[in-house]
Structures are given as C-alpha cells and as structure tokens.
C-alpha cells in the first residue's frame, strides 16, 4: 500500500516538473492533467471519494479542455528564455 | 431584520441580471443601484441596534461555531453602510458612464464585487472570508480588464497573477490553522490560539497576512495597484480605491487583531504602513497621469491607515476607521469627477486638465473638495481623521512615535503639494491649445454623473463640519476590532 | 539571478512548512494520536461525523457539510463560478468574432455519430451523480462538471453551438432557486438555508430534506456555467 | 515506514506547491504561469485533504452497514477542497480569457515583451 502511494506521489511530482519543463505548451498541459489524475487517485486513497470525483472531472477533464481551447486561440510554443 | 439580507438580497438580484438582460437592454443598469439602496437602508436601520451588542447570525439552523455565522458588529455594519453608500452612488454614475462592451455583465460583476466586500466585513468564519475575498478579487480582475484595451488587459493580467498567489497563500494559512485547531470559526480559533507553540501559530499568520495583504496593497505587495486602478474604467477605479482595498485591509486587521491578538507583531505593521505611505506619496508626486497619481495617493492613504492601526490604541484605531470612511468618500469623489474630464478630453495627462474649471465647473469644484479633504484641510472630512491619528500617536508619549508621526506628516505635505498643483491647474492655468475649439468639449458631465459627485461632496462637507455624526459610531467599531475577549464572548455565547 | 532568488525563497518556505507540519498535533492524524483539545465539542470534523446523520439525514457527511453546515460557503462558491463566467463573457466580448472567420472542417461521420449517441448518456450520468450526492459520493459539483463535459463533447464532436440565452437563463434560474430556498429557510425557521423539509429515512433517494434539492440547483448552475465558459473559450456560443 | 506513511502526502503537496511557485516566479510565458497557478492549487488541495486524513480511517459516508463515526476521516477539509477546486477553475478560466485578449493585442504571450506599463 505504502509503495503504491509513494509511486503515485513520485509520478505526480515528476509530471509536475515535466509540466514546468516542456517547451511545447500542449505537452505541458497534458502533464498537468496527469498531475491532476494522480492527485485524484491519491484523494481516493486518502478516503475522499467526493473530492476524487471532482478532481478527476474538473481538474483532469475540464481544465485540460479549457487549456487546449485557449492554446488553440493563442500560441503553442513557449518562447526561448534569454539568459538573465 | 437579519443582517444576512445584506448579502443574500444583492446576490439574488445579481443572479436576476442575466435574465433581465434577455428581456431589456436598459433594465440591468438599475439593478445594482436598487440592491445598494436596499443595503444602505438596512444597514442604517441596523447600525444603532448593533452598537451595544453585535448580532450573531447562524446559517442552516446550527449554533456557532458549528456552522457558518455572520457577526454583524458595529465595525461590520459601519463598513457595510459605507460600501452601500459609495456603491449606490457609483452605480448611479455607471448607468450613464458605461456604454460600450457587454453592459449587463458589467453591472452584474459590479454588484457581485460589492457583495463580496459586504460578505468580507460581515462574516465570522475564516473560510467564508476566503470565499467572499475570492468573489471580490475575481470580479475586480474582470472589471479591470473590462474595456479590453491594451493597458486594461495587461494590468488585469498582473493583478490576477499576484492576486492568485495571494489567495493561494491565504488558503495554505487556513489549512495550517484547521490542522492545528480543527475549527474555522474566527472566534473559536481566537479562543484557542494560546494552546499551541507561538512559532507554529506565527507561520499561519504570516501566510494569512501576506495573502490578504496583496489585496490591501501593503508595501512590498502593491505592484499591481497603480496599474489596475489607473487602467480600469473610472467608476471601477472609484470602487477599487474606495472599497476593495479597504475590504482587504479589514481582512488583515481582523486576522491580526481578533484571531491572533498579535501585539508583538504590531511595530512591524507600523513600519510597513509608514513605508507604504512614503512610497505611495513619493511616487504620486512624480506622476503626470492623473489616474496613476490618484492610485498612488490611495496607496499613501492606505499607508497612513495601516500606520494608525499599527499604533493599536483605541484612539488611533478610531482615527484609522475615520480615515477609512473619509478616504472612501473622497477617493470615490475624485475618480468620479475626473472620469468625465478624461472622457471629454480623451487624455489622462494632467496638463490636459488645465483650465477645466471654465469648461466643467461642477466637476472641478467636486475634484477640489475631494483633493482638499484628502490633504486634510479643516472644513472637510479628512481633517478630523488625520487629527485623531496624530493625537493618538502623540498620546503614546514616546519620542519614537513622535518622530514616526512627523515622518507621516511629511507624507501629507507631499500629498498637499501635488494636489494643490492639480487644483491650481484646474482653476488658474489656461486651457491647452485647441481644446475649447472642439465641438461639444466644453460640456459639463451629465446629470447621472453630477448627482453622485455632489452627494459625495456634500457628505464630505457635512461630516467634516460636524464629525460627531461619525465619531459616535467609530468608537464602538474600534473596540469591536480591539476587544478580542468581547468578540469571542458574543459569538460563542459563553 | 531571478532563478537563484526564487529557489532560495522557495527553500525557505519549504523549511517553514515542514517545520510546522511536523508539529505533533497537526491534522486529524495528529489529533487522533494525541487526544486532547479536540473533543466532540471543539473539533468540526468529529462532531459532524457523529451527528450529521441525525441532524441532516444525509448519509454522505461531506454532502451534509457542503450543503448544510457550510451551505453559505457553497452559495459563495457558486457565485465565484458565476463571476468567472460573467467576467469571461465580458472580457471576450470584443474578441469573439476574429477567430470564427475561418471555418473549421467538420468532424468525420464516426465521431459525429458517436458524439450524438454519447451526449444523452453523459447527461444522464451527470444527472444521476448530482441527484444522489447525499447518499453516495458525488453531488452538485461533480454532476455539473460531468454535464459540462457533455458540452465539450458537443463542441468537439458535433461542431454544435449552444444558445447563450438558454444557458444564461438556466444559470440565473438555478442560482435564484438556491437563494430562494435559503430565504424559505429564513422565513420558516429564522435561519438562512435551514433544512425545512422532512429528513426521511437515511440512504433513500428522497431523504435529507433540502440537500438533494439544493444539489440539483447547484448541479444545473455549475453545469450551465462551465458549459458557457467552455463555449466562450472555444468561440462557439451564439449570441 | 510509519514516518514515510505519515509524511509522503505532505512531501508530495509541498513539492507541487514549490514547482508551481517556481514556474510562476521564473517563467515568462503567460500560459506557463497559469499552469503554475494550477499546480499550486492542486498542491494546496492535497495539503488540505492530508490534514484531515486518519491512517486507520474510513470514508465519511454511511453506507448500509453500521459504521463507526469515530473512525471516519475529517469531512470538513473535503468540503473545503470541493470549494477550492471550483474556485481554482474559475480563476483559471478568467486567466486564460485574459491570455487570449493579451495575445490579440500583442501577438505574443511573453510577459517580458509586454512593457506598456512598468512591471
């Protein structure tokens, strides 16, 4: 059980770092959805089924859709960072 | 007459606005005025009865602290009345001023902003405070960008990013508090606050004060303020400067004084207030854009109010509350009267306002009254407030406080300098070339704009001449904020 | 430089946070182990778990907390979503036309048919979730979000548009229903959002008094608002 | 092992909040910043739920068979998080609509290039 939880947390954190690192915003958004999905499973394991449902439908589902619509109407690539 | 009507009725009216918009284009514009008129009447009716004992309102039929409760004390009802008064006048102003964009949505958002502010000052539950805070913040992000021009959108983005981080910090603070105490009622937390190590409590306090401080524009957290207040439509600038930052400050003060009773933390607040004051006034002095100048001046005034709160004696808090009212009225008046000047000239440069007194005499007079009141000249409402703060600082009897209040007065001198410069420009400088020649430019603002401005100016004069009207209520309100034991006793009924 | 400052700042915050979580009495787990301070009379969670079934009749304690004990929060929170939907509409008001100019290619027949087949089922599932919030996990927000994801399906698959007028009407009416239920409570028992209907037997669909009614109103409101938000962002709402 | 079980969630949520804050502070693309805000929100939600968690507990739902109310996890943080999730989505949607308008004005989402007003 603890191993499973540890695994979920690790995946979540790695996905978050990936969301921060990706230059392609679409990839970053998908990584973000993965974070929400992992969070939702963790919520379920923490005995919060209501929150797990809400996070899965709103966090992982609708948020991603909203992001994708917005990216469609703007730009997809993050600009390169200059050294500062 | 339950104080919950102050929140629920305008909320219901705001929900109706989209339906009304389907039926008629003109009708939604009058809904905020109706709602705020209702609030003004109810809060003035409640004000005398809460002076002796606050009304604690339970929701869902469970006794506090086990459900959300409102605490309608003198402070809350006084601020609710202020919000309703300024909100009513600005709503009347906006019926004529807002023409472009999605007008019904503007009015619904505006009403909800005021609902959020009213909820903040009335609630007795920490998480409920957060929810109303979010209503206030989110509607102001949207309203700042309402016109959709470059500056508006950009400052709304800035405001949103900083505000979102601020509310995240608030939520973390609430999480820490709930983890420690297992309760969310402010009175309940306040009663148990000494049962855990001070350092643990301090951490949650740091989160909460930083988070609410973003909205209150206390010194290091105020980067958004000049942009947001200057880029918004003038009616919204009036509400943001007059009401929204006061609501943020109320949240900070309530958390500091009532929940934590943080006496040791107060000198820090004092210094922060002084810094805010100096930064605000100095930046205002060097501005050429009239709305940015007014925004920075708001920052300076907030600094003075925070300074007075930091002194934390009964007299100084009374002075601070007096300043809250006076600044709310005066700054709303300034933004309202300047709104149509900008609209007519199409420029926010101070130089374009020169000679305005000939073209728009009533607006200019109102501007002058507001400016003199902010500076603190005697017959206006700003004077008693500043006088009370200075007297309270001197009463402390410490040389240090005397020096600090002298620095604060220096800020006032700077403020006087730039306001006199503008008023002099309005009255004694010739109008810029070609301004008068254009057709229709010399017109005075319409009646829907002059009426609120004149009412505000009259209120400033009347309360300035006989401040007793206000001081009767400010005293109990100050003790409502300072007397933690009485607050807990009233809410929990022990 | 900016990175360095940020990282140092973040590390400091982490230290502070870890320090305060490691407090022996932190959280419900800490409370369980140390006892003390949080008897039934002090701690929210324990009291609600003990008495929610008797006081509200809802088998799902979270639903009882969301709708009854902290119902005022929920009203505020529905308002936040309302504010966001309004603000989004106001902000995108001028910008709506530009991207609509270029026609999108229609979806393939399979996607189109699939969406038309799935859409009613998604709505039905959403309705089920939002109506059973007081006995099983779920409720207004979750059900509303599922309904809204049905709208996403329509935008993506069927290339359909939703009439803004009807969405706005649904939003307004469900919001009003919430407030009116609150006022009925105020009129009947002197307390806003009072549970004035009979509690019924726990675990039945028609139990817990006013909770399922409010949850249906919340579900409709959340669904129509999220649907409107998505439509506005996708540029698919017809005015 | 018990230590790990107690603190693994707290570790995860603080890591999320830190990554999110880092993104908000360092990145200059507006949509990236909004992603950061979203990560912070998720982290905070996890933090709140962890605060109400009891290791030997059950979900706070009565289902048929008699359950001990004393063993249930704390329902209040769950209610708070339901509210917080919806608030997070609201802020996010508004931020994205602002991003769309900003892109319409400047044709870029790079905040460093948008200097009409001073930052």
Q: What is the pLDDT of residues D57-106, one digit of tens each?
A: 788 888 766 677 777 888 888 999 999 999 999 999 999 999 988 888 88
The answer to whether A60 touches A37, Cβ cutoff 8 Å, is: yes
Q: Which residue has the higher pLDDT, C100 or D108?
A: D108
Do B157 and D40 count as a contact with CB atoms less than 8 A apart? no
Does domain D2-55+72-113 correspond to CATH entry 3.90.180.10? no
Do A69 and C234 count as a contact with CB atoms less than 8 A apart? yes
Nearest-CA distance from A82 to chain C in Å? 12
Do D45 and A17 count as a contact with CB atoms less than 8 A apart? no
Pick out chain B residues at pLDDT < 50: 437, 439
Q: Which two tokens stand for residue C180?
A: 């009116």
- In this complex, whether A and B touch, counting 3 or more CB pairs under 8 angstroms, is no
Looking at B24-73, list the stretches that DSSP marks H as alpha helix, in order from N- to C-terminal side: 31-50
Enumerate the domain spans of chain D: 2-55+72-113
- In this complex, whether C and D touch, counting 3 or more CB pairs under 8 angstroms, is yes
State residue C104's pLDDT score: 61
pTM of the shown model: 0.93
Do A57 and C146 count as a contact with CB atoms less than 8 A apart? yes
State residue C20's pLDDT score: 66
SS3 C192: strand
Q: Peptide bond before C52: cis, by omega within 30 degrees of 0?
A: no
SS3 C210: coil
State residue B440's pLDDT score: 53
Q: Which two tokens stand for residue D61?
A: 């739902």
Question: Which chains lie within 8 Å of chain A at 3 or more CB pairs, if any?
Answer: C, D
Block means of pLDDT (10 residues each) for chain C, length 239 residues?
Answer: 75 72 66 56 73 79 86 90 90 64 67 86 89 83 89 77 78 89 85 79 75 88 88 68
A57-84 average pLDDT score: 80
Enumerate the domain spans of chain B: 5-433+440-492
Q: Residue B490: how many CB atoms within 10 A of its CB?
A: 20
Name the pLDDT band for A12 (thresholds 50, 70, 90): very high
Which residues on C lie below 8 Å from A52 (Cβ)?
A: 137
Which is nearest to B415 in space by CA: B306, B290, B281?
B281
Give the integer Cα–Cα distance in Å for B494 and C121.
Answer: 54
| Percent of chain D scoring above 70 in pLDDT | 90
State residue B288's pLDDT score: 86
Closest CB to A73: pick one of C1, C99, C148.
Answer: C99
State the virtual CA torsion across B159, B162, B167, B172 in degrees, nearest 10: 180
State residue C34's pLDDT score: 61
Which is nearest to B338 in space by CA: B281, B280, B292?
B292
Q: What is the largest CA-CA distance in chain A?
A: 46
Nearest-CA distance from D97 to chain C in Å? 6
Which is nearest to B18 in space by CA: B98, B109, B142, B147?
B109
Q: Hey, is the C-beta of B4 within 8 angstroms of any chain C C-beta?
A: yes
State residue C70's pLDDT score: 87
Closest CB to A70: pick one of D54, D99, D108.
Answer: D99
Closest CB to C84: pick one of D7, D53, D93.
Answer: D93
pLDDT in tens, B366-377: 999 999 998 888
State residue C37's pLDDT score: 43
Alpha-carbon distance values, D43 to B26, B104, D3 (Å): 45, 36, 20
Q: Report yes or no for ipTM above 0.90.
A: yes
Do D117 and B231 count as a contact with CB atoms less than 8 A apart? yes
State residue C25's pLDDT score: 62
């Amino acid at each position: 059980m603890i191993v499973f939880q540890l695994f979920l947390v690790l995946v979540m954190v790695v996905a978050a770092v990936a969301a921060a690192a990706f230059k392609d915003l679409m990839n970053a958004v998908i990584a973000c959805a993965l974070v929400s999905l992992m969070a939702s499973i963790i919520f379920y394991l923490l005995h919060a089924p209501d929150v797990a449902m809400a996070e899965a439908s709103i966090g992982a589902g609708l948020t991603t859709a909203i992001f994708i619509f917005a990216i469609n109407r703007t730009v997809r690539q993050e600009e390169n960072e200059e050294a500062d | 007459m339950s104080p919950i009507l102050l929140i629920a009725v305008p909320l219901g009216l705001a929900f109706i606005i989209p339906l009304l918009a389907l039926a008629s284009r003109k009708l939604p514009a009058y809904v905020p005025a109706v709602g705020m008129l209702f609030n003004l009447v109810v809060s003035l009716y409640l004000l005398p009865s809460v002076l002796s004992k606050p009304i604690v309102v339970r929701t869902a039929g469970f006794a506090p602290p086990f459900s959300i409760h409102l605490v309608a004390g003198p402070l809350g009802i006084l601020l609710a009345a202020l919000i309703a008064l300024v909100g009513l006048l600005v709503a009347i102003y906006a019926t004529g001023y807002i023409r472009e964009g999605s007008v019904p949505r503007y009015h619904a958002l505006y009403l909800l902003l005021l609902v959020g502010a009213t909820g903040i000052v009335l609630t007795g539950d920490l998480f409920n405070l957060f929810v109303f805070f979010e209503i206030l913040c989110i509607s102001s992000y949207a309203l700042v960008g309402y016109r959709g021009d470059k500056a508006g959108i950009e400052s709304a983005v800035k405001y949103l990013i900083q505000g979102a981080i601020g509310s995240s910090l608030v939520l973390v603070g609430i999480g820490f508090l709930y983890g420690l105490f297992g309760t969310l009622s402010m009175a309940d937390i306040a009663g148990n606050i000494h049962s855990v190590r001070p350092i643990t409590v301090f951490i949650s306090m740091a989160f909460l004060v930083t988070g609410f401080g973003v909205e209150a524009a206390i010194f290091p957290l105020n980067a958004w303020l000049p942009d947001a207040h200057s880029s918004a439509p003038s009616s919204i600038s009036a509400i943001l400067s007059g009401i929204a930052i006061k609501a943020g400050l109320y949240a900070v003060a309530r958390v500091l004084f009532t929940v934590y009773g943080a006496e040791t933390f107060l000198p820090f607040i004092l210094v922060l207030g002084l810094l805010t004051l100096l930064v605000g006034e100095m930046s205002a002095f060097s501005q050429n854009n009239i709305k940015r100048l007014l925004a920075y001046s708001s920052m300076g005034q907030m600094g003075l109010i925070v300074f007075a709160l930091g002194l934390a004696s009964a007299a100084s808090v009374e002075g601070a509350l007096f300043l809250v009212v006076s600044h709310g009225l005066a700054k709303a008046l300034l933004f309202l009267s300047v709104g149509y000047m900008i609209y007519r000239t199409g420029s926010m440069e101070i130089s374009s306002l020169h000679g305005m007194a000939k073209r728009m005499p009533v607006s200019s007079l109102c501007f002058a009254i507001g400016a003199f009141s902010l500076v603190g000249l005697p017959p206006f409402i700003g004077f008693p407030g500043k006088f009370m703060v200075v007297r309270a600082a001197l009463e402390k009897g410490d040389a240090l406080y005397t020096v600090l209040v002298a620095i604060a007065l220096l800020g006032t001198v700077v403020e006087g300098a730039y306001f006199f410069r503008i008023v002099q420009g309005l009255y004694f400088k010739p109008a810029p070339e070609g301004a008068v020649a254009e057709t229709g430019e010399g017109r005075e603002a319409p009646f829907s704009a002059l009426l609120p401005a004149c009412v505000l100016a009259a209120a400033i004069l009347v309360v300035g001449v006989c401040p007793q009207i206000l001081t009767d209520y400010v005293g109990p309100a100050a003790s409502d904020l300072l007397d933690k034991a009485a607050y807990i006793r009233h809410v929990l009924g022990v | 430089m900016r990175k360095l400052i940020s990282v140092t700042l973040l590390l400091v915050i982490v230290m502070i946070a870890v320090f305060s979580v490691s407090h022996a009495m932190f959280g419900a787990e800490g409370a369980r182990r140390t006892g003390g301070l949080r008897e039934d009379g002090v701690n929210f969670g324990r009291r609600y778990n003990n008495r929610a079934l008797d006081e509200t009749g809802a088998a799902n304690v979270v639903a009882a907390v969301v709708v009854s004990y902290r119902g005022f929060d929920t009203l505020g929170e529905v308002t936040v979503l309302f504010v966001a939907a309004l603000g989004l509409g106001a902000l995108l008001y001028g910008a709506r036309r530009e991207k609509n100019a270029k026609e999108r290619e229609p979806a393939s027949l399979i996607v189109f048919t699939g969406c038309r087949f799935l859409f009613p089922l998604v709505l039905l599932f959403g309705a089920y979730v939002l109506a059973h919030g007081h006995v099983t996990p779920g409720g207004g927000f979750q059900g509303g979000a599922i309904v809204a994801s049905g709208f996403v399906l329509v935008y993506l698959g069927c290339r359909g548009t939703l009439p803004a007028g009807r969405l706005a009407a649904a939003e307004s009416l469900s919001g009003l229903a919430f407030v009116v239920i609150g006022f009925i409570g105020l009129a009947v028992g002197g307390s806003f959002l009072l549970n004035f209907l009979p509690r019924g037997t726990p675990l039945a669909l028609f139990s817990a008094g006013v909770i399922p009614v409010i949850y249906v109103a919340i579900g409709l409101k959340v669904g129509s608002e999220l649907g409107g938000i998505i439509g506005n962002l996708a540029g698919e709402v017809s005015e | 092992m018990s230590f790990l079980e107690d603190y693994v969630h707290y570790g995860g949520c603080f890591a999320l909040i830190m990554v999110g804050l880092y993104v908000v502070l360092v990145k200059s693309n507006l949509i990236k910043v909004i992603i950061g805000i979203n990560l912070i929100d998720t982290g905070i939600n996890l933090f709140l739920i962890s605060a109400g968690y009891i290791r030997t507990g059950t979900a706070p739902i009565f289902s048929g068979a008699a359950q001990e109310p004393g063993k249930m996890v704390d329902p209040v943080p769950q209610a708070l998080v339901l509210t917080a999730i919806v608030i997070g989505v609201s802020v996010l949607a508004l931020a994205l609509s602002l991003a769309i308008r900003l892109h319409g004005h400047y044709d870029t989402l790079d905040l460093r290039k948008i200097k009409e007003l001073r930052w």
